[in-house]
Structure 1
């Protein structure tokens, strides 16, 4: 049995999110072992598949003081030297730039009274992301894996982005391709904020920037739209539309065409997409 006395992780790849030490098997540690956490890193101990204590940037000598949850779980005394087994994950907090994304499948949009009544919108672009909640991210993507890189989770990022963008676009009230492009131009405003919040809540990731090319449109029948929207997202869209109506934003389509997402959209997105939280807040007032 090899006890790990000093450990760090300096050879971080550009597209690396998490890295486990040791890469194979489990590590044997003792009180007095040292963990060196670099800049823009967090190190998290995992035992039995459960993420426990986190260490911030700096040199840490393991003790009950800095790994209290793990120490309590394994029942070690403050001065104990008994080795214990655990995995240590180094989490990279640096920005991951220029991650490509695209609308595959396309985003459906109803266009009442125009053409066939609906269009399918396609676009592509890039986004920059970074880990905002290391524990949430590790539990979602990293635990049990020697390493997690951008390519390992690109499908999850793409699916999440496309779903949230569809919900926000269809719930915003836009009814034409120019209005949809006006919505898309607000990717540095309310749209980006709403997208990033959904990513943080589910993945522990924030979107720091998002670039998109103008939508390209293909005519479609209104019935075709339901082939591109899940029931869950359809219900969220309806809640968002109801929230907009209740706020009295009757001219939201025109406002979107000129200035991206209107002020009312930004105020109502949170409650419409998270009705349980909105209800709890209302009960406190």
Structure 2
């Protein structure tokens, strides 16, 4: 093998990218090896290939098998001032771009988003979901995002686009003024509106936002507890009945936990106070009734019967007759002198 044959063997004759490995952009490893004029460029479906000459984007190729020549490299030919057919090797960087849809990219609020709700006032919300993107304009994406890296995957841009998604969704929910209690029934509508709203920002980088999903929007724990209490009250219907139910439940818990220590004592005291308040309300209601209504149970009772008369008892200790003044014998019923009844 001669020197010319050895050098000729180093020229690149086939340019292709077989394994995308989840990459958005892949730089073909030509390094200092020159590309042979007449080499085959194989671009598969869902791929695009771009030639870059000394940092300048030249020709873009879509799917298919292309034989490289000055005829199908017009921009590169103009950059290198090839005025006639040129069969010698040339140097250029070749980038393959993955044009498939990249799905299940996550978004979520790092910090709570402050919103104004018509029912609960100012609240803090968190949310998360996923979105999908694809390269829409290869040349624009290469200029704006990729640069001169060897490889480029989705993790290199998800942090940047996640902040764009969170900001857009937060702004959309704020403008929609949907009560937090109704947000869960509006996830699909909000997702479609978010795609429309955010599309121009993705297009500015040569990307297309193909889908976006809102999986959940959650509220702080204290707001969720407030909603739970309100739901319980609505289910109970009558507030007085609800309070009686709560009091009975507290008494039952205290009775089932007599050795509950401080917590049990507190529960018992709370139940006792609640019962005291209820008894006070009942007494106030009774005192507010008319006087004749209050005395009615006593008026219906039978009047007391008069006790039968009893004969008056003989005064104890009488010693002289009231008729003749003679001294009477002890316990005598008649005077021994005049015969009068004592």
Q: TM-score, normalised by structure 2?
A: 0.56
Query: Larger Rg: 1 or 2?
Result: 2
Q: Does 1:190 align with 2:197?
A: no
Give the superposition deviation at 1:19. 0.4
Determine if contact 2:106/2:130 at 8 Å carries over to the other structure: yes
Give the superposition deviation at 1:48. 2.5
Give the superposition deviation at 1:183. 5.3
Q: Does 1:101 align with 2:103?
A: no
**Which residue in the other structure is 1:204 paired with?**
206
Determine if contact 1:19/1:146 at 8 Å carries over to the other structure: yes
Give the superposition deviation at 1:62. 1.3
Q: Does 1:17 align with 2:21?
A: no
**Distance of aligned partners of 1:26 and 1:157 in 2 relative to their CA distance in 1, 3 Å threshold:** farther
**Which residue in the other structure is 1:213 paired with?**
215
What does 1:60-75 align with in structure 2 at a 5 Å threshold? 60-75=66-81
Flag the structure with higher strand content: 1
Cα distance in 1 between the residues matched to 2:95 and 2:20:
12
**Which residue in the other structure is 2:173 paired with?**
169
Cα distance in 2 between the residues matched to 1:86 and 1:34:
14
**Distance of aligned partners of 1:173 and 1:86 in 2 relative to their CA distance in 1, 3 Å threshold:** same
Give the superposition deviation at 1:209. 1.9
Determine if contact 1:195/1:207 at 8 Å carries over to the other structure: yes
Cα distance in 2 between the residues matched to 1:26 and 1:190:
49
Cα distance in 2 between the residues matched to 1:128 and 1:39:
19
Query: RMSD of the TM alignment (CA)?
Result: 2.5
SS, match of residue 32 in structure 1: strand
Q: In structure 2, list runs of 5 or more residues that go unmatched.
A: 1-6, 222-342
Cα distance in 1 between the residues matched to 2:92 and 2:64:
20
Q: 1:150-188 CA deviation, whole Å, 9 max, x = no partner?
A: 112221221221222233333x24163245555543145
**Distance of aligned partners of 1:108 and 1:8 in 2 relative to their CA distance in 1, 3 Å threshold:** same
Q: Does 1:89 align with 2:132?
A: no
Determine if contact 1:192/1:209 at 8 Å carries over to the other structure: yes
Cα distance in 2 between the residues matched to 1:94 and 1:27:
29
Cα distance in 1 between the residues matched to 2:32 and 2:159:
29
Determine if contact 1:76/1:82 at 8 Å carries over to the other structure: no
Determine if contact 1:19/1:147 at 8 Å carries over to the other structure: yes
Q: Does 1:156 align with 2:163?
A: no
**Which residue in the other structure is 2:12 paired with?**
4
Determine if contact 1:31/1:63 at 8 Å carries over to the other structure: yes
**Which residue in the other structure is 2:265 paired with?**
none
Cα distance in 2 between the residues matched to 1:197 and 1:179:
28
Cα distance in 2 between the residues matched to 1:125 and 1:169:
15
What does 1:25-174 align with in structure 2 at a 5 Å threshold? 25=31, 28-111=34-117, 114-115=119-120, 117-170=121-174, 172-174=175-177
Higher RCO (CA 8 Å, separation ≥ 6 residues): 1
**Distance of aligned partners of 1:123 and 1:86 in 2 relative to their CA distance in 1, 3 Å threshold:** same
Determine if contact 1:107/1:166 at 8 Å carries over to the other structure: yes
Aligned residue pairs total 214
Structure 1 runs, 4 residues or longer, greater than 6 Å off: none
Q: 1:56-105 CA deviation, whole Å, 9 max, x = no partner?
A: 10111112332211110111234112333211111111111211221123
Q: 1:245-279 CA deviation, whole Å, 9 max, x = no partner?
A: xxxxxxxxxxxxxxxxxxxxxxxxxxxxxxxxxxx
